Amino acid sequence: NAGVMQNPRHLVRRRGQEARLRCSPMKGHSHVYWYRQLPEEGLKFMVYLQKENIIDESGMPKERFSAEFPKEGPSILRIQQVVRGDSAAYFCASSTEGTDTQYFGPGTRLTVL
């Protein structure tokens, strides 16, 4: 049973470009969470999704950031017009319905030049 998959593992973008981060949850998991970790800090919650539904996006910046979890395919975290401050590690986690244990992917390290 494969774990949570994230790709790419490393992503380099220039300021103003778009970044797309993908997350495939563990088999049987229908809940996906995105977290961001800035250097020397802990993980900060961004968004919580179920299939075709955003449950909680209280941690998402108001502009440039969006997330989706379509009926088919991976969850996507999209960052438009990236800025240097977006450089961070972005982790995706998944869980089964009704449980709180979230299992994390290896993360995508975004570097904005």
Partner 1 sequence: DQQVKQNSPSLSVQEGRISILNCDYTNSMFDYFLWYKKYPAEGPTFLISISSIKDKNEDGRFTVFLNKSAKHLSLHIVPSQPGDSAVYFCAASVCAGKSTFGDGTTLTVKP
Report the distance separating Cα 13 and Cα 111, nearest Å. Answer: 6
Chosen residue from 2, 84, 85, 100 binding partner 1 by CB under 8 A: 100
Query: 88-95 and 108-112: which strand pairing?
Result: antiparallel
Q: Which of these, 101, 111, 81, 87, lies nearest to 36 by C-alpha position? A: 87
Asked if 97 interacts with partner 1 (CB under 8 A), we say: yes
DSSP, collapsed to helix, strand or coil, labels residue 84 as helix
85 secondary structure, DSSP code? G
The piece of 13-21, 63-71, 72-80, 93-101 that touches partner 1 (CB under 8 A) is: 93-101
Chosen residue from 8, 53, 56, 61 binding partner 1 by CB under 8 A: 56
Asked if 63 interacts with partner 1 (CB under 8 A), we say: no
Asked if 104 interacts with partner 1 (CB under 8 A), we say: yes
What residues line the site for partner 1 (CB under 8 A)? 4, 6, 31, 33, 35, 41-45, 48, 55-56, 58-59, 91, 93, 95, 97-107, 109
